Amino acid sequence: MIAAYRKRLTSEDDQIRIEAAKAWTLWEGETITLLPNPSFSEAYADGHFALAFARLENHYFFHDCWMEDGQLLRDAHRLAGIPGVIFHGRYDMPCPVKNAYLLHKAWPDAQFCLVEGAGHATTEPGILDQLIRATDRFSG
């Protein structure tokens, strides 16, 4: 599916590119928040935004984020001694909570924070609150 979208997102035909980009971003916009958020739907439906967002995200996924399968967990030991915080919304549909939990187990110096009542978006109230708290703690 990633390769098929890449082909459409880089098509010579503007209409094909925009239609593919809107489909990509509208799906994302509808799945990243716990409750429907019309502002995401409106922003993600804009052709210019959609094309930039979809092409960037697709480019990373097409290249497997420049990581080998399992590399993040396999190499997490290299983060030993480095503090961090792993946030994950309990209702995050695009990314399974299991992945965040496994990263936490492989990186014990990181705090794991399962955010109740939140999905994937950083703008979700619980996620945003935890991000601000963490940056305040790290800033001293």
Per-residue pLDDT of the chain (140 residues; tens, 9 = 90+): 999 999 999 999 999 999 999 999 999 988 999 998 888 778 888 999 999 999 999 999 999 999 999 999 999 999 999 999 999 999 999 999 999 999 999 999 999 999 999 999 998 989 999 999 999 999 97
Q: How far is CA 54 from the centre of its chain?
A: 12
Q: What is the pLDDT of residue 94?
A: 93
Q: What is the pLDDT of residue 37?
A: 84
Report which secondary-structure segment, H or E, holds 120: none
Residue for token digits 């509208």? 26
Tokens in use for 102? 């496994």
What is the C-alpha separation between 50 and 21, in angstroms, rounded?
5
What is the C-alpha separation between 116 and 114, in angstroms, rounded?
6
pTM above 0.75, yes or no: yes
Reduce the DSSP state of residue 85 to 3 states and report it.
Answer: strand
What is the C-alpha separation between 58 and 103, in angstroms, rounded?
23
